[in-house]
């Protein structure tokens, strides 16, 4: 059984009136199971020489719908004005923007494509899907 642990730490000395320190972790498991997720695409990078609109990054057709998949996406740019817009489904519902160095880690049901728009030329997107067959 595969064991994958994900941790997230958020800290700030000046966001609120008090110091902020949140930390949590979990093991990634298959849907309704104690068994760990055991499939992965591996960490990949896609380079886009030109700006993209509605470009499919993760195709729902590659995954079984309704499972406990997880998705990691990172904008590898070091320029904080360059962004990647992350969108979901045929209607391209906007999930949000990843500016230079930003990343996201979200649950994924495998029912809709995950598309991206890039704000500039010569941008690289790093991504990983951890999934169950």
What are the φ and ψ backbone dihedral angles of 123, each rounded to 5 degrees?
Answer: -110, 150
pLDDT of residue 74: 98
pLDDT of residue 78: 97
The residue ranges of DSSP E strands in the chain, in sequence order, are: 5-12, 20-27, 39-40, 44-48, 55-58, 69-75, 83-88, 93-99, 103-108, 114-118, 123-131
pLDDT of residue 102: 98
pLDDT of residue 68: 96
pLDDT of residue 17: 82
* Tens digit of each residue's pLDDT, the chain (133 residues): 789 999 999 999 999 888 999 999 999 999 999 999 999 999 999 999 999 999 999 999 999 999 999 999 999 999 999 999 999 999 999 999 999 999 999 999 999 999 999 999 999 999 999 999 9
The CA dihedral of 58, 63, 69, 75, to the nearest 10 degrees, is -10
Sketch out the chain's domains with CATH numbers.
37-131 (2.60.120.10)
């Amino acid at each position: 059984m595969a064991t994958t642990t994900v941790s997230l730490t958020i800290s700030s000395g000046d966001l609120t009136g008090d110091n902020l320190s949140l930390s949590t972790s979990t093991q990634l498991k298959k849907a309704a199971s104690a068994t760990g997720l055991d499939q992965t695409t591996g960490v990949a990078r896609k380079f886009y020489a030109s700006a993209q609109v509605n470009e499919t990054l993760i195709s729902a057709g590659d995954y079984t719908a309704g499972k406990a998949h997880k998705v990691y996406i990172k904008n590898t740019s070091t320029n904080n004005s360059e962004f990647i817009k992350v969108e979901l489904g045929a209607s391209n519902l906007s999930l949000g923007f990843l500016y230079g160095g930003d990343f996201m880690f979200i649950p994924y049901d495998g029912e809709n494509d995950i598309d991206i728009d890039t704000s500039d030329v010569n941008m690289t997107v790093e991504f990983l899907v951890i999934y169950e067959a």
